[in-house]
Structure 1
């Protein structure tokens, strides 16, 4: 049992108990003692060992912080430092030593880098930044011991420490401030803290000015080219403000200060500059480097605004409050400096939006409204089915070529790539390409839904109607693909037998049938893999389109002097227009073919049962299997074959559509709670009008 002597020193009842407590680790003690007992034990432990806590290193402060650090996130808002306050008020000698200790640890510690660097993107290279933050998360860099960041790294080393520190009651923080005899930022004789803040702000302003003047950033905002740059203007204002603070030995300014007001105006103009640059990404595209540069400037502008506010004091009572808030702000910056999730989210959102914006525009062509468009989609899908039927025959013969697995992967990839590109260029439709394109169009329907007072009531209903249009378009495209792939494959294999007297599918018919049977092969997994590739092909199309737009490739082709001399202006312009409209789709289809053609070979290399299953190819393969077995399949094989085609189509659609929908939600920063409302609206509309999900509406006469 712990007792207290008259002199404020603590002893234990006997030496054995004292040694037992001293040999326990801090984490073992947390299980045995409550917060008050832990504080008492900690002071007692360090006093018994060292006799004076005012000269110990950071271990004591780190252990003291650990006492109040909540074990679970749910306890973050129940932090109470009253046990420490009560102890310090009760035992004067230890309080005096504690005050000396804290002042020695914190006084004259440089913190300008906490303002200028910590938590801000440091490079335009996204991959480097990810790697840097990942390393920082598990092996943090340690600045010199003369810096405040070193102290914070040692005592607030958990990434969530800033959350529970921010939840400590203000009255307790004020009480701790008084007990520790701190002086506010604005009452230091040497003006050390204010000079650090001013230097940090000056560095930030210099950096944003230099970055904003770079050519690749400037081209995003032609609207500002005929005006003075707000970044140069704000740099001038900050230089004048900095000189005035140092010349007149100022500690703060008031909110009515003309220089402060002018800086705020220029700051808003700088923010508008960055917002305009981001919004112009539709017109000019955007690269990951420019995206990172704009994000960095935006983060630095936010940091400038936050830190600048601490130089403004309108009432002397604000001095203590703002000093405490400044300390919490620095802790927050340091704790979140290696936040990878936030970096990825901010860095990829705009690029995802640009990619899905392209697929949304493309996806509109895959969604029918009228009966005429519906049957046009059917004819287009039939064209796609014809080409796939031919690809099935070619793949069957390529499988008989004596070559390595790499050779087969190359041959299959060429077959797929040429076939998919032909479908695209001939204006035919491959049904499974639709989901990756149409998901973004669906989200655009939510964004562009009705406005006004009835927006929330009607936008999900508009989405349900739009989804019905999408679903029947998908349905008729599946029907067209499957209906034509089967007879085309059958006619071609029959023609080959009639001409060459050779049944090319005889040796492979059982494998082709079993590939459609989920009880014989992992068909569902293979269908999901194909769905992932369909999604990736949509991403590639959007990425290529965005990249070419940002690099002005179409304009550069159109104005290429050699091409204009050789082909003339009109033909060169046609080439540029063809490139603009078709190149992204061609590249995505080539890559889709490579993905499809190499999967099985990669799986064999890795020792994994990897392959792809595609609904249209499944239809053609069923025809080949039937013909290969002398035009006979058992009833069970027919049932599984037809059912397998449907299952493959379902998972092709679900996987590619789901991934595209997630990306579309992410790009628009929408809550996934919207999905529930959307699904309910679709279900209600389906119950009211199920026919509209499969057949076009009747045209009004």
Structure 2
């Protein structure tokens, strides 16, 4: 470290970045998490500079020269801010740059960081060093005397500082233009049309910034030319107020997006806009001198060795924080996880919000709704019985694997879509929807208190609705499949499945002798994905105004007529998510087994209702000759498959819903005790709905 300082002192006018690289290498600990070692190295550097004011002056001059000879604007406007490329373009670019990094141009300060801080973990040890140590080091450099060479010629540090200040002002201007342009995007105005009724804060901040920069540049010109009268520019308080108004509009747009839908492009734009506003705010606070006093006052304080100006200390802290932010963003500029974290939260919130509204239809409140749910689930059981028949017949075609996967997928997809069109219910589709509804209940309105009694009541309703839906599916699917297999035997004189095929069907649902439960977990993941797909398309239907788009299709108007077309548009806007979720769910169920076969992997799907129909078909194929042990294992297998289906899909959906809402629920044990207490007192509530819905008395509510 001392030798590096000596080399810098020998040639402080150099703009060679190698000296800074050597200095950072001396500070860098062996492991990024060794914070104490890094802090000790910083303190050693601090002691060396205290002991040698000449080296402190030389290091200061070297750093100023290093900055002034590089282009800095892109460092402040690009690092840590999403580019204008779009989400998927940026995603693919980050992935490609991780494999083959881009070329560097050391004329730009942002590219110099790749040499100075090449490790992806450099920000870890830099942030781990106490801020007080970094501030002391910055203070030593700021207060160091101007560098003088051997002939006592004073180096022109003022020119270097002026160039850096100009670069900062240019960065502020670039960011302001970008904020104005993004604020005029039609997708933002569409979600917040009232912004057209008054002066847009995104435009007004740019107008105010021009006035601010004009005064600031006049001040800098007077400062450099040593004019007798140099008036300090106005502070940036009014400009910061305009940025606050921009933040308020962004917040309103985010709230409207929950109601009107969003898209990946809009979400990306909102994140980029927010990042640009926050960076603009930080740069303004960094260059603002309104609270520092005049240059003459600062010089007098320095000569008298008075206590540092609090505003100046605050500015140094802001500079340190911005520097750490830029370094971390630079080290993580190719990270994919951060890109997803910044962009997916709002989109996931909208998807789960739509799933939550759909989930309300899967919760039976009264005995009437309970009976209606049973009838709806029974209807689905009938359809699934015939879907099982079609799948077995398709398997007898002995088609190529991909053709067979296509036939299976279309059987599942159109069957599930028919169930949706007929307003029937598949029990396993409920958890992915109701989990979002429960997540909404876990999020208290005031952020502090959660109504446990209401939440317990909601969970009880979900459990008994799930129970009656499963019962409706199984009580009809099993006998329908049994009667179909029996009718096939009487019509054709041969069983629908041979004894060997029947044994294979029974083996597939055996929880001990096969991977039935593992395959049921895969089906649970498919159910969860189908729930996300449903929410995504519900969101898309709202965002794109599907009904209006359908009504404008001239070819459809000629085919159906205006009234039928309007009804079709309204139906698609309200049911597009359900239709597409069922369609893709069928494709997942129909292709996973074939993919496992082609890749040689033991992956397949097991669904509770299809397992029940396979059990019924196998029973007929064996002429009802089955040992009680086999029958028990099959029944346990069907129940186990259903339990895994429901639990996996519910757990994943609840996890995503909580993450999307950013809910950290800390009362799980209290909620579990309340649910168990309710089960001990009134276990029937978990299986049978009350005749009338009794309102929950306010005086009996308990909150946590």
> TM above 0.5, one fold?
yes
- Unaligned runs of 5+ residues in structure 1 are 1-38
Of stretches 191-200 and 209-218 in structure 1, the one that deviates more from structure 2 is 209-218
Superposition pairs for residues 601-680 of structure 1, below 5 Å?
601-671=594-664, 673=666, 678-680=671-673
Is the deviation greater in 397-406 or in 642-651? 397-406
Give me the CA root mean square deviation.
Answer: 3.3
Cα contact 1:184–1:319 (8 A) shared by 2: no
Aligned to 1:65: 24
Q: 1:597 to 1:177 in 2, by over 3 A?
A: closer
Q: SS where residue 373 of structure 2 aligns?
A: helix
Query: Residue in 1 aligned with 2:73?
Result: 112
1:620 deviates by 0.8
- Kept in 2, the 8 Å contact 1:124–1:289? The answer is no
Matches for 1:124-203 after TM superposition, within 5 Å: 124-136=85-97, 141=102, 143-162=104-123, 164-166=125-127, 168-169=129-130, 171-180=132-141, 188-189=158-159, 191-203=162-174
Please give the secondary structure, in 2, of the residue aligned with 1:632.
coil
The alignment covers a number of residue pairs equal to 653
Post-superposition offset of 1:159: 4.3
Q: Deviations over 1:552-578 (max 9, x none)?
A: 221222355665576554333212222
Aligned to 2:207: 236
**Matching of residue 475 in structure 1 with residue 479 in structure 2:** no
Query: 502-511 or 56-65: which moved more?
Result: 56-65
> C-alpha distance in 2, partners of 1:562/1:501?
50
Distance in 2, matches of 1:161 and 1:104, equals 24
The 1:147/1:133 distance shift into structure 2, 3 A limit, reads same
The equivalent of 2:237 in structure 1 is: 261
Identify the residue that residue 304 of structure 2 maps to in structure 1.
Answer: none
- 2:217 is matched with which residue? 246
Alignment-derived partner of residue 298 in structure 1: 274
CA distance in 1, matches of 2:280, 2:592: 50
Q: Output the CA distance in 1 between the equivalents of 2:467 and 2:452.
A: 22
**Residues 32 and 125 of structure 2 are in contact (CA less than 8 Å); yes or no, is this contact kept in structure 1?**
no
Structure 1's 470 and 247: CA in aligned 2 closer, same or farther, altered over 3 A?
A: same
Deviation of 1:76 after TM superposition, in Å, equals 6.9
Q: Distance in 2 between matches of 1:485 and 1:632?
A: 21
In structure 2, distance between residues paired with 1:365 and 1:170: 54
Tell me if the contact between 1:114 and 1:330 (Cα under 8 Å) persists in the aligned partners: no
Once residues 469 and 36 of structure 2 are traced to their aligned partners in structure 1, the CA distance between those partners, rounded to angstroms, is 54
Q: Residue 15 of structure 2 contacts residue 66 of structure 2 at CA under 8 Å; is this kept in 1?
A: no
* More displaced stretch, 503-512 vs 260-269: 260-269
Q: Kindly indicate whether the alpha-carbon contact (under 8 Å) linking 2:219 and 2:233 is maintained by their aligned counterparts in 1.
A: no
Contact kept, 8 Å, 1:287 with 1:550, in 2: the verdict is: yes
Q: 2:542 aligns with which of 537, 541, 549?
A: 549
* Unaligned stretches of 5+ residues in structure 2: 147-156, 225-231, 293-297, 299-308, 695-704
Deviation of 1:113 (Å): 0.9
Q: Distance in 1 between matches of 2:4 and 2:34?
A: 28
Contact 2:373–2:469, Cα closer than 8 Å, also in 1: yes
> Does 2:285 match 1:309?
yes
1:29 is matched with none
- Give the Cα–Cα distance (whole angstroms) in 2 for the partners of residues 229 and 163 of structure 1: 40
Partner of 2:228: none
Please tell me whether the aligned partners of residues 385 and 616 of structure 1 are also in contact (alpha carbons under 8 angstroms). Answer: yes
Q: 1:290 to 1:110 in 2, by over 3 A?
A: same
Is 2:79 the partner of 1:79? no
Contact kept, 8 Å, 2:359 with 2:430, in 1: the verdict is yes
In 1, are the aligned partners of 2:485 and 2:495 still within 8 Å (CA)? yes
* Contact map agreement 1:77 1:164 (CA 8 A) in 2: no
For the structure 1 residues 354 and 95, does the alpha-carbon distance in structure 2 shift closer, same or farther, using more than 3 Å as the test?
Answer: closer
The within-5 A match list for 1:52-451 is 57-70=16-29, 71=31, 73=33, 75=35, 79-80=39-40, 81-90=42-51, 98=59, 101-136=62-97, 141=102, 143-162=104-123, 164-166=125-127, 168-169=129-130, 171-180=132-141, 188-189=158-159, 191-249=162-220, 260-313=236-289, 314-315=291-292, 316=298, 317=309, 318-319=311-312, 322-323=315-316, 325-337=318-330, 338=333, 339-447=335-443
User: After superposition, what is the alpha-carbon deviation per residue over 1:426-445, rounded to whole angstroms, capped at 9, x for unaligned?
Assistant: 11111000011111111112
Check 1:324–1:191 CA distance in 2 against 1; reply closer, same or farther (3 A cut).
Answer: farther
Q: 2:493 aligns with which of 488, 497, 501?
A: 501
CA contact (8 A) 1:158 1:335 kept: no
Structure 1 residues 198-207 or 142-151, which shifts more? 142-151
Partner SS state of residue 592, structure 2: helix
1:162 and 1:467, CA in 2 relative to 1: closer, same or farther beyond 3 A?
same
State the 1:523 CA deviation.
1.0
CA distance 1:170–1:528, change in 2 (3 Å):
closer
Give the conservation status (yes or no) of the 8 Å contact 1:230–1:269: yes
| Contact 2:216 2:233 (8 Å CA) reproduced | no
Give the deviation of 1:179 after TM superposition.
4.2
* Counterpart Cα distance in 1 of 2:530 and 2:523: 11
Alignment of 1:447-466 (within 5 A): 447=443, 456=449, 458-466=450-458
State the match for 2:589 in structure 1: 596
Q: What is the alpha-carbon distance in structure 2 between the residues aligned to residue 364 and residue 324 of structure 1?
A: 50
**Take 1:661 and 1:434, find their aligned partners in 2: how far apart are those partners?**
12
- Name the SS for the 1:219 alignment partner: helix
Contact 1:442 1:467 (8 Å CA) reproduced: yes
On the 8 A contact 1:431/1:474 being kept in 2, the answer is yes
Please state how far the C-alpha of 1:168 moved relative to its aligned partner. Answer: 4.0
Q: Secondary structure at the match of 1:191?
A: helix
Question: Do the aligned partners of 1:493 and 1:624 also contact (CA within 8 Å) in 2?
Answer: yes
Structure 1 residue 512 and structure 2 residue 472: aligned?
Answer: no
Separation of aligned partners in 2, 1:166 and 1:363 = 44
8 Å CA contact 2:60, 2:144 repeated in 1: no
Distance 1:143 1:656, change over 3 A: same
Give the TM-score normalised by the residue count of structure 1: 0.85
Residues 306-340 of structure 1: CA deviation (Å, up to 9, x unaligned): 11111223135234652464254134223214143
Match of 1:4 in 2: none
2:480 aligned with 1:488, yes or no? yes
Q: Tell me, in whole angstroms, the C-alpha distance in 1 between the residues paired with 2:668 and 2:252.
A: 30
DSSP-derived class of the 2:549 partner: helix
Which has the larger displacement, 515-524 or 426-435? Answer: 515-524
**Residue 120 to residue 94, structure 1, CA distance change in 2 (3 Å):** closer
Deviation of residue 639 (structure 1)?
1.4
| C-alpha deviation, 1:170, in angstroms | 5.1
Deviation at 1:684, TM superposition (A): 4.5
